[in-house]
Structure 1
Amino acid sequence: MNVGEILKHYAAGKRNFQHIKLQEVELTNVTLTGADLSHADLRQTRLGKSDFSHTCLQAADLSEAILWGIDLSQADLYRAILREADLSGAKLVKTRLQEANLIRASLCGANLNGADLSRCLLIQADLRPSSNQRTDLGYVLLTGADLSYADLRAASLHHANLDGAKLCRANLGRTIQWGNLAADLTEASLQGADLSYANLDSAVLRKANLQGADLTGAILTNTELKGAIMPDGRVHE
């Protein structure tokens, strides 16, 4: 089935497109809201500026796909493969990304507010702000997620749950390109998180819960820790 046929069937009311193969095709500026694309092969597909909100993409392969500006709000991407995908400026509000593979994916300026990224792989992922938008990870569930070496400079992680997350050598320090701001982890939960050798220069961790966290070798220069619960359980004044 080609792109034209899919859009024709969708317009006629069809929503089941499971296991469909659409490698390296152009699907920009299209609407497939509520479609079922689970297990679809969408590798290297160009889906920029499209509306895929409420779409089911469970276990879909979107490796190296161009998804800039796509709307995936409340979409289901459980166990989806987004390895090296470009999600710059994407709308991922309340999106389910549990156990998704986002290794080396670009999420610059993406809105992930309320998304569920528990147990997902974000190794070497780029979550820096775009030229006009700070990456929003507020209230995101990142329990057990692997963010090793991820670039989180200036990302907003307020109230995020990062319990047991791996942030080894992650960069959460300040960036000149974004008004010298660092990551905001106000009231974030980081119980048992691995922050070894992470760059937390000037990061905001006010009232964050770091109980049991590993801060071995972490850069804590100018880090704001007022009211934070430290690894040993004491409250930082």
Structure 2
Amino acid sequence: MNVDEFLLRYAAAERNFPDIDLSYVDLQEANLVNLNLTGANLSYADLREARLGKANLSKANISYANLSETILWGADLSEANLYQAQLREADLTGAKLIKTSLEKTQLIKACLSGCNLKNANLSHAIIFEANFRPNQNQQTDLTDAILVEADLSYTNFSGAILEQANFEKAKLCHAIFGVSGLGVLSSEQSYNTNLSGVNFKDADLSYADFSGANLSDANLRGADLTRTILTNANLNRAMMPDGTIHD
């Protein structure tokens, strides 16, 4: 099926296109909301500024695709392959990214508020200035996420669920993990970021803000804590940069 036929069928209210091959196609600014693309091949596709809200892209191959400024709010990308995809300024608010491969993906200035990233692989991803803040009481879930060597500078993680996340050798300078990044929230939204057991081994945490965060049992061995803000942070049993255990 070529792209023209696909768009005609979509315009005729067809929504189910599982396993379709749309690799290398140009779908810039296409309106494709509520679409079923389970298992589809979208590798190398140009989806800049497309609207894919509520789309089902689970298990799809979206590697090397360009999704800059694409709207993906509420989309299901579980187990999808987004290896080296371009998602600059994409809106992934409330998206499901469980077990999604985001290795080497560019998520610069992307909105990831309220996403479920359980067991997602973001190793070597560039997530500079992305936003992980809670969205309408829904927290971003990065439980067990792999963020090894990812560039997360200036990223706001306030209120995100980060238990057992792996930030080894990640670049987190000026990142915000503390309550200061939450702004003015209602009492129901008053999250303190839980970083218990998180691996920050050899990570660059210079100028990062962990005020009020829970870092109990975290691994900070070899981490750069230059001018890091740890006001009211819980460091019980945390391994410090020199290898000692904090009382």
Question: Do the structures match in fold with TM over 0.5?
Answer: yes
Shift of 1:185: 1.1
User: Structure 1 120/6 Cα, relative in aligned 2: closer, same or farther at 3 Å?
Assistant: farther
1:213 aligns with 2:223: yes
Structure 2 residue runs of 5 or longer lacking an equivalent are: none
Q: Which of these residues, 203, 228, 233, is aligned with residue 238 of structure 2?
A: 228
Shift of 1:181: 2.2
What is aligned with 2:76? 71
| Structure 1 counterpart of 2:226, one-letter code | T
| Structure 2 counterpart of 1:141, one-letter code | I
User: Structure 1 115/10 Cα, relative in aligned 2: closer, same or farther at 3 Å?
Assistant: same
The correspondence of residues 33-48 of structure 1 with structure 2, limited to 5 A, is 33-48=38-53
Number of equivalent positions: 237
Q: What TM-score does the superposition give when structure 2 sets the normalisation length? A: 0.92
Separation in structure 1 between the aligned mates of residue 61 and residue 21 of structure 2, nearest angstrom? 10
User: Structure 1 210/6 Cα, relative in aligned 2: closer, same or farther at 3 Å?
Assistant: farther
User: Structure 1 6/211 Cα, relative in aligned 2: closer, same or farther at 3 Å?
Assistant: farther
Q: Which of these residues, 4, 14, 19, is aligned with residue 7 of structure 2?
A: 4
Separation in structure 2 between the aligned mates of residue 75 and residue 13 of structure 1, nearest angstrom? 13
Could you tell me whether the CA contact under 8 Å between 2:18 and 2:37 is conserved in 1? Answer: no
User: Structure 1 125/12 Cα, relative in aligned 2: closer, same or farther at 3 Å?
Assistant: closer
What is aligned with 2:211? 201
Separation in structure 2 between the aligned mates of residue 59 and residue 4 of structure 1, nearest angstrom? 22
Q: How many percent identity over aligned positions?
A: 46
The correspondence of residues 1-237 of structure 1 with structure 2, limited to 5 A, is 1-2=3-4, 3-5=6-8, 15-174=20-179, 175=182, 176-177=184-185, 179-237=189-247
Note the alpha carbon deviations across 1:105-137, whole angstroms, 9 max, x for none. 000011101100000011000010101201101
User: Structure 1 156/24 Cα, relative in aligned 2: closer, same or farther at 3 Å?
Assistant: same
Note the alpha carbon deviations across 1:41-83, whole angstroms, 9 max, x for none. 0000000011000000000000000110000000000000000
User: Structure 1 148/10 Cα, relative in aligned 2: closer, same or farther at 3 Å?
Assistant: same
Structure 1 residue runs of 5 or longer lacking an equivalent are: none
Separation in structure 1 between the aligned mates of residue 163 and residue 242 of structure 2, nearest angstrom? 22
Q: Which runs of 4+ in 1 moved over 3 A?
A: 5-14
| Structure 2 counterpart of 1:221, one-letter code | T
Separation in structure 1 between the aligned mates of residue 81 and residue 9 of structure 2, nearest angstrom? 20
Shift of 1:179: 3.6
| Structure 2 counterpart of 1:139, one-letter code | D
